[in-house]
Amino acid sequence: MAKFVASSVKATASGSKHPADLNKTGKWVKAGQPIVEQAPAAKSEQGPVLLSATASFTYLGGSCSSPPIPLAPIPSTITLKPKTATKLSVNGQSVLLEDDEQTDAFGNKLFVSGASGLMKSGLYGTS
């Protein structure tokens, strides 16, 4: 089944607490905007076709032990790559599709948030 190719991604920070945060006062925050790898010559009506994306998150605040000792910032990085091989590829690399997403062990998420309304790619191994 053909799916629309990705044109944008979004990162969302988890609302969960890190296991090391004993007093449960810290929180996950995005560290800037996701970094995307664009296909150099492939464009849709929405903009460049995306090959992959990376988002960084940091857990800030909270404490460990008693009496409380502040936690150092805890980083987490998510890399979003195509879930399956696609018929449309750039230099042998598959493109991101409308339903691609990745979640880390803490619940932080990176996902395709926008897709072309015209450009589709079929998946290998499907009809």
How do residues 4-20 score in pLDDT, each as one tens digit? 889 999 999 999 999 99
Domain presence at residue 100: yes
Domains: count for the chain = 1
Q: Is residue 40 part of a domain?
A: yes
> Is 51 within a domain?
yes
Asked, for residue 101, whether it belongs to a domain, the answer is yes
Would the pTM count as exceeding 0.85? yes
E strands along 1-127, which residues?
3-12, 27-30, 35-44, 47-60, 63-64, 69-70, 74-80, 89-90, 93-94, 101-103, 109-121
Residue 127 lies in a domain: no
Residues in the chain: 127
CA gap 18, 27 in Å, rounded: 8
Domain housing 74 = 3-113
Average pLDDT over residues 24-53: 90
**Is residue 59 in a domain?**
yes
Residue 89, domain member (yes or no): yes
121 domain-assigned: no
At 91-102, the pLDDT tens digits run 888 999 999 999
